[in-house]
A = this chain, B = another copy of it.
Amino acid sequence: MKAITLDSSQDSKLLLTDVQSRALLPGEVRVQIKAAALNHRDEWCRKGLYPNLKDGVVLGSDGAGIVAEIGEGVDYDWLQKEVIINPALNWGANQKVQSEAFEILGMPRNGTLAESVIVPLDRLHEKPAHLSWEEAGALPLAGLTAFRALTFQGDLQAGENLLVTGFGGGVAQFAVQFGLALGARVSTSSSSPEKLERANALGVDFTFNYMDHNWISKAFEETNGFDLIVDGAVGDTLNHLIEVAKPGGKIVFYGATLGNPSKLIARKIFWNQLKIMGTTMGSDQDFINMLSLVCEKRIVPIIDQVFKFDEAEEAFDRMRDGKQTGKIVLVP
C-alpha cells in the first residue's frame, strides 16, 4: 500500500512509497483511510526532534476511514463500519496521567498517512454522522488534547472566562470551539489579524493581537481576567498569562513551542492562588466525552486545506511555517 514514511535520506525527510502491510493479530483491525490529518508531532518527527525516531515508519496520528479487515476475535459487525481512530494507545487506567506503555499512533507504530492502518479494535469509534471524511479525520489528536485541557484539567464551567492562545493551531481551534460549546465566554489571541477574523466568525467574545503591547491591560479591562487559559507556547509569554489570569485561575499548557520561560514570578502565583498545569493528549474516557460533545453540539472542525498524498511535502511545509488556520488534511 502507498504510505508516507519518515526517510532521513530525503531532503524533505518524507518518502511516499509502497509499504508491505503485515497480517492482523487477534483483536486488531485494518482501517482503509479516507482522510488523515497532520499534527505538530508529525513535523517534529521530520525535524528529528522526537525521541526514538525510525526511518521507514509511516507517519500520521489522525485518521478516519472504513474497517476493511478484522482480526481473530473481532465481531463481524465491525466490517465496513465508518470509524475514526483514537491515536492514544495504552493510556492505562489512571485518569491523571498516561502509563509508561503509552504510545501515539504514527511513531514508532505505523500511522495514518497510508492507504490503511492497523490498530487494536478498542481504538475505533463511530465516525460522527454530521462530519465529512476530511472533518472526521481532522478531529482526533488535537480534539482530544483540547478537550482534556478544558475539562479534566481545566474544569471549565459555563460562564467562565476562557482564553485560548495562538488561534490557528489545531488544538487552539478545538479549544475555542469546545469552549463555546461548553458555554464559556471565549477569548482567543494570535499575531495574525486574518486568524482573529476567523475566530470572530466562530462567535468568540473577544480577540487579542498579542503583538499589541497593550493587549494584557485590554484583556483585563474587557474580561476582568481569565478563569482558564489554554496555551501551547509557554516561553516568556507564560508571565504574561500569569498577569491576565484571574485570581484563583488556571493556566493549562499542552506544549511549549516557545521553549522554557526564563523566569517565573512565584509571588504572583501563590498570592493569587494560580494553578499552572501541563497536559498531554487524553485518556480513553476523555476521547469518549469529546466525541459526545462534538456529536451533541454538531461541532465541525475547521479544515485549512486538503492535500493529496503526493503533495505531502507542501502540506508539512505549511504546518512548519504556521500558515494554517485549522487542520491540514491529507487524502490517499
Q: Which positions 216-262 of chain A face chain B at CB distance < 8 Å?
A: 234, 238, 247-248, 253-256, 259-262
Q: What are the residues of chain B within 8 A of A278 when measuring CB–CB?
A: 266, 268-275
Instruction: Say if the beta carbon of A94 comes within 8 Å of chain B.
Output: yes
Instruction: Say if the beta carbon of A25 comes within 8 Å of chain B.
Output: no
In the bound complex, what is the Cα–Cα distance between A96 and B273 (angstroms)? 7
- The reply to whether B254 and A270 form a contact with Cβ atoms under 8 Å apart is yes
Interface string of A90-129 (1 = CB under 8 A from B): 0000101110000000000000000000000000000000
- The reply to whether A265 and B272 form a contact with Cβ atoms under 8 Å apart is no
Partner of A259, one of B234, B253, B260, B266: B266
Interface size on A, residues (CB 8 A): 35
Q: What are the residues of chain B within 8 A of A262 when measuring CB–CB?
A: 262-263
- The reply to whether A280 and B276 form a contact with Cβ atoms under 8 Å apart is no
Q: In the complex, what residue of chain B is closest to A97 when comparing beta carbons?
A: B248
Task: Known A248-B94, A262-B263, A264-B260; judge A276-B273 contact (CB<8 A).
Answer: no
Task: Known A270-B253, A272-B97, A276-B275; judge A261-B260 contact (CB<8 A).
Answer: no
- The reply to whether B267 and A256 form a contact with Cβ atoms under 8 Å apart is yes
Q: What are the residues of chain B within 8 A of A23 when measuring CB–CB?
A: none
Instruction: Say if the beta carbon of A288 comes within 8 Å of chain B.
Output: no
In the bound complex, what is the Cα–Cα distance between A276 and B278 (angstroms)? 9
Instruction: Say if the beta carbon of A277 comes within 8 Å of chain B.
Output: yes
Instruction: Say if the beta carbon of A279 comes within 8 Å of chain B.
Output: yes
Q: In the complex, what residue of chain B is closest to A95 when comparing beta carbons?
A: B248
- The reply to whether A253 and B266 form a contact with Cβ atoms under 8 Å apart is yes
Kindly list the 9 A-B residue pairs having the minimum CB-CB distance in the complex, ordered from nearest. Answer: A97-B248, A270-B278, A96-B248, A269-B278, A256-B266, A97-B247, A234-B266, A97-B273, A276-B276
